[in-house]
């Protein structure tokens, strides 16, 4: 495995991959910066061991990460390359061909860009069948989700193999389309935009807004995404919420398409778990099981949060 860029994300990849017993080579912008990155990797892993998040053996594994003097040396023989240099288009367009030129023809090359079009980046690559976007979240050694962004030419087998590797590392990949912001950043930005508006309008102080997000609807998010939550709440209920928000808050809340998405289902009698189906289908048994499992998980999370010391 090769990690290009030993910053916030690159060190997380090196920690995760070496911790899983994989051979890892890392390179930064110069030999000196690579040496410093490896030093920081050691400190980071020792910190996790001291906090009892990792077994002491992780220190030795992290020490096995080899520094490479340049990109070519880093990628030689690697099955997977993760590009994690700063978010500068020119730099990425320069690094990707250098990676490809020295990598095995079979190597899978990925970019951890958080905003650039993967199609645009793929323009710098000749073997596009083996290229894809792999958008991780900070800190990548602990956050399980990874967005996988194939381009048109990416071979399905490469997408499959990358997902398998991620699952073996304990991650939870999701394949998403190559549109600006992919999916996660688009959703996060929608929330953030509205959070800033609520504070700007004097509706709430930042600390209370954080509490609302964490403890109200955010409390459910470790277990369910918006579609499952909608099914349990009722699509008809949300439809009416959309209408009320539009009436009270005006044009900015005109959710015409979203109301159509829900309205067509509601008209077809698909209001969610209470009617046997919404975005997903449920037999009576499946619905009962889901609801009791939901409550079991919420109770377990509430208890865990109660036990954790305040931040």
Distances in whole angstroms, Cα of residue 54 to Cα of each of 46, 137, 295, 307: 9, 19, 31, 21
In the complex, the smallest distance separating the C-beta of residue 60 from ligand NAD, rounded to whole angstroms, is: 24
In the complex, the smallest distance separating the C-beta of residue 174 from ligand NAD, rounded to whole angstroms, is: 15
Phi, psi (rounded to 5 degrees) for 289: -65, -45
Q: Which residues of the shown chain bind ligand NAD in the complex (CB under 6 A)?
A: 4-10, 27-29, 33, 84-87, 91, 95, 112-114, 136-138
In the complex, the smallest distance separating the C-beta of residue 87 from ligand NAD, rounded to whole angstroms, is: 4
- For the chain, first and last CA: distance in Å? 35
In the complex, the smallest distance separating the C-beta of residue 40 from ligand NAD, rounded to whole angstroms, is: 9
Kindly tell me which of 111 and 271 has the beta carbon lying closer to ligand NAD. 111
Could you tell me which residues come within 8 angstroms of residue 271 by beta carbon, excluding any fewer than 6 positions away? 234, 235, 236, 265, 278
In the complex, the smallest distance separating the C-beta of residue 252 from ligand NAD, rounded to whole angstroms, is: 29
Could you tell me which residues come within 8 angstroms of residue 164 by beta carbon, excluding any fewer than 6 positions away? none
Kindly tell me which of 27 and 125 has the beta carbon lying closer to ligand NAD. 27
Q: Of 168, 126, 130, 132, nearest to 149 (Cα)?
A: 132
Kindly tell me which of 68 and 233 has the beta carbon lying closer to ligand NAD. 68
Kindly tell me which of 70 and 246 has the beta carbon lying closer to ligand NAD. 70
Kindly tell me which of 74 and 262 has the beta carbon lying closer to ligand NAD. 74
* Strands (DSSP E) found in the chain: 2-4, 25-27, 66-67, 80-83, 108-111, 131-135, 145-150, 172-175
């Amino acid at each position: 495995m090769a990690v290009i860029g030993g910053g916030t994300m690159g060190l997380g990849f090196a920690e995760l991959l070496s911790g899983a017993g994989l051979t890892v080579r890392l390179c930064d912008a110069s030999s000196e910066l690579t040496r410093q990155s490896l030093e920081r990797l050691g400190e980071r892993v020792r910190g996790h061991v001291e906090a009892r998040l990792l077994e002491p053996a992780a220190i030795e594994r992290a020490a096995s990460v080899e520094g490479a003097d340049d990109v070519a040396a880093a990628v030689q023989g690697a099955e997977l390359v993760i590009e994690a240099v700063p978010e500068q288009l020119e730099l990425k367009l320069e690094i990707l061909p250098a990676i490809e030129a020295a990598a095995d023809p079979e190597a899978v090359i990925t970019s951890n860009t958080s905003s650039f079009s993967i199609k645009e980046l793929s323009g710098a690559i000749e073997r596009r069948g083996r290229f894809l976007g792999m958008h991780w979240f900070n800190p990548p050694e602990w956050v399980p989700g990874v967005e996988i962004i194939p381009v048109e030419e990416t071979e399905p087998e490469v997408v499959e193999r990358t997902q398998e590797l991620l699952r073996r590392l304990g991650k939870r990949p999701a394949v998403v389309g190559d549109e600006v912001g992919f999916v996660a950043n688009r959703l996060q930005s929608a929330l953030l935009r509205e959070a800033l508006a609520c504070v700007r309008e004097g509706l709430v102080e930042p600390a209370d807004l954080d509490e609302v997000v964490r403890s109200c609807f955010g409390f459910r998010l470790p277990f369910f995404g918006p579609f499952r939550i909608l099914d349990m709440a009722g699509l008809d209920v949300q439809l009416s919420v959309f209408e009320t928000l539009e009436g009270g808050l005006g044009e900015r809340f005109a959710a015409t398409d979203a109301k159509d998405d829900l309205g067509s289902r509601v008209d077809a009698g698909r209001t969610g778990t209470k009617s046997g189906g919404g975005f997903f289908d449920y037999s009576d048994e499946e619905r009962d099981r889901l609801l009791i499992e939901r409550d079991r998980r919420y109770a377990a999370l509430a208890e865990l949060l109660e036990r954790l010391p305040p931040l």
